[in-house]
A and B are shown apart, each in its own frame.
Chain A
Amino acid sequence: MLELRHVSKSFGNKQVLQEISLHVANGEFVSVIGPSGSGKSTMFSLIGGLLEPDAGEIYLSGENITNKRGFISYMPQQASLFPWRTIIENVLVGQELQGKKDYERAEAMLERAGLGDVIHAYPHELSGGMKQRVAFIRALLSPQSLMLLDEPFSALDEFTRTDMQKWLLSIWEDDEQSILFITHNIDEALFLSDKIIILSVNPAEIKEVIEVPFKRPRDEELLLSEEFLQWKRKIMDVIQY
């Protein structure tokens, strides 16, 4: 699906990304973890075509999309909903940009996501967690088959966050979309992903790629299991060195 080949990027004489190569398979959930300032968002801007890499190429389904826009769908850290649009109009934005609106499907998806009551509400009437749900549905409804999620839950409190993770899995596990997910929370990465990419800092290089063995569908029990804690320890060890 998505492939980065030896992608490097510097700002001025500060190298941010060095020789990043990674791969996201069809329907795969891949997380990228690394400390803030390590260049994760920069990597997304490169994939989105907003920035030009100094070296390397980016491929999507075999097509070279380096410096090209419109091939991915995106969910930022702040929900970034349009305040003048109702919820249903907001989740249709991604489709509008690509030229084909499917109102019924959007309505059905919102119903399924537990947002049926707020379809015609405006964003300011929703809580932070609800807004993030809308932003996720918006990304999911966009026609692109790869979603980039940049720390989507980091602004939420702990309780809402765990709810959101379970909710996200319940929605996504019925879907065929691939996800590349940025976080700096190890629990979150382990709970959600099939694969975790650990970045180092200054410049960011890929330190290790970890295949997460947990079966799907996953539930909250997993978070407390011995196995989960062992994997968590393993990742922390990698980050430390």
Chain B
Amino acid sequence: MNTSVLKKIWRPFLAILLFIGLWEVATRLFSIEEWLLPAPSDIVMEARSVIPTFLPHLQSTVTLSVSGFLIGTTVGLGVATILHLMPRVRETFFPFIIISQNMPIIVLAPLLVIWFGFNALPKLIIITLACFFPIAVSALGGFTQTNRELVHYMKMMGANKAQLFWKLELPHAIPSIFSGLKIAGTYSVMAAVVSEWLGAQKGIGVFMTLAASSYRTSRVFVAIIVAMIISLAFYGLILLLEKFFIRWQQKGENN
């Protein structure tokens, strides 16, 4: 198990090391200015000095994106359930959900700021919206794709609507819901950082804009890398949860 993971991982890992090495050498060789493109070593140095002041920003962004993610997940699952159990309502609203899924939510941000001010609320709304759509769509997809033979079995056995939902449709949709959760997890960090650009006291987005406006490019890189790490950590956490929930699934099988 462990050796196979190592086998899979060493090539990409080596590629990254090589890339960083080339980057370092290139910035020195062509003496590129730090404000234009800092060398990896500059970024590491900057990170070490700036991390203590950076921590509150980090904490603020993580709290924001986790809250938004949780609210978005709850609302997304709730709405998907309601739409699924009420076919008429679904027929009416599902097209809107699909359309709005393809809209860049972030364009709503200025409007939300006008309505709700520069506090946490408009940011939470944006993150919630960004997480809501992939989860609602994937859950609804999972519910409707429930194996017909299993549905027929349950109906023949006299299952009522609630039993059909809790015992069959919901567990059947879990793999599908998790693919939505993974997308939403990544979106939530992105939406949090971008919404902080609009104005906030704290957050990685704020830290980033401050650093960028004073051309402290190394700092911008530190913020970028930290945002990426948070995003990956979310993803990994959701992956772990998925492993736990879908441990019944055959390897390589998806249905």
- Chain A interface residues toward B at CB < 8 A: 44-45, 48-50, 69-74, 76, 78, 80, 82-86, 93-94, 96-98, 122, 124, 142, 148
Q: Which residues of A contact B167 (CB under 8 A)?
A: 82, 93, 96-97
Give the number of residue pairs across the A-B interface with Cβ within 8 Å: 65
CB distance from A121 to the nearest CB of B (A): 10
Q: Are the C-beta atoms of A124 and B253 separated by less than 8 Å?
A: yes
- Chain B interface residues toward A at CB < 8 A: 147, 149-150, 152-159, 163, 167-168, 171-172, 174, 246, 248-250, 253
Q: Which residues of A contact B150 (CB under 8 A)?
A: 80, 82
Known: A80-B147, A83-B250, A142-B157. 18 other contacts (CB 8 A): A48-B155, A48-B156, A70-B157, A72-B158, A74-B156, A76-B152, A76-B156, A80-B149, A80-B150, A80-B153, A82-B150, A83-B249, A84-B171, A84-B174, A93-B157, A96-B167, A97-B158, A122-B248
List the 7 closest A-B pairs by CB distance, nearest first: A70-B158, A74-B156, A69-B158, A124-B250, A48-B156, A80-B153, A84-B248
Q: Which residues of A contact B159 (CB under 8 A)?
A: 97
Q: Are the C-beta atoms of B156 and A148 separated by less than 8 Å?
A: yes
Q: Which residues of A contact B156 (CB under 8 A)?
A: 44-45, 48, 50, 69, 72, 74, 76, 148
Q: Which residues of B contact A49 (CB under 8 A)?
A: 158
Most A C-beta atoms less than 10 A away, residue of B156, B159, B246, B250: B156
A69, A74, A82: the one within 8 Å of B168 (CB): A82
Q: Are the C-beta atoms of A94 and B171 separated by less than 8 Å?
A: no
Report the Cα distance A83→B255, complex, angstroms.
9
Report the Cα distance A98→B147, complex, angstroms.
22
Q: Are the C-beta atoms of A83 and B157 separated by less than 8 Å?
A: no
Report the Cα distance A14→B62, complex, angstroms.
63
Report the Cα distance A76→B22, complex, angstroms.
63
Residues of B contacting A: mostly: helix
Question: Which A residue's beta carbon lies closest to that of B250?
Answer: A124
Beyond A83-B248, A84-B248, A124-B250, whether A50 also contacts B155 by CB under 8 A is: yes
Q: Which residues of B contact A73 (CB under 8 A)?
A: 157
CB distance from A118 to the nearest CB of B (A): 14
Q: Are the C-beta atoms of A74 and B163 separated by less than 8 Å?
A: no
Report the Cα distance A73→B249, complex, angstroms.
27
Q: Which residues of A contact B253 (CB under 8 A)?
A: 124
CB distance from A124 to the nearest CB of B (A): 4
Q: Which residues of A contact B149 (CB under 8 A)?
A: 76, 78, 80
Report the Cα distance A84→B146, complex, angstroms.
13
CB distance from A234 to the nearest CB of B (A): 33
Question: Which B residue's beta carbon lies closest to that of A122?
Answer: B248
Q: Which residues of B contact A82 (CB under 8 A)?
A: 150, 167-168, 171
CB distance from A31 to the nearest CB of B (A): 19
Question: Which A residue's beta carbon lies closest to that of B158?
Answer: A70
18 contacts between A and B (CB under 8 A): A44-B156, A69-B158, A70-B157, A72-B158, A74-B157, A76-B152, A76-B156, A78-B149, A82-B167, A82-B171, A84-B249, A93-B167, A94-B157, A97-B157, A97-B158, A97-B163, A124-B248, A124-B250
Q: Which residues of A contact B153 (CB under 8 A)?
A: 74, 76, 80
Most A C-beta atoms less than 10 A away, residue of B153, B171, B250, B253: B153
Question: Which B residue's beta carbon lies closest to that of A142?
Answer: B157
Report the Cα distance A96→B172, complex, angstroms.
18
Report the Cα distance A69→B155, complex, angstroms.
8
Q: Which residues of A contact B158 (CB under 8 A)?
A: 48-49, 69-72, 97-98
Q: Which residues of B contact A85 (CB under 8 A)?
A: 248
CB distance from A50 to the nearest CB of B (A): 5
CB distance from B5 to the nearest CB of A (A): 24
CB distance from B232 to the nearest CB of A (A): 28
CB distance from A79 to the nearest CB of B (A): 9
Report the Cα distance A145→B40, complex, angstroms.
74
Most B C-beta atoms less than 10 A away, residue of A49, A74, A85, A122: A74
Q: Which residues of A contact B248 (CB under 8 A)?
A: 83-86, 122, 124
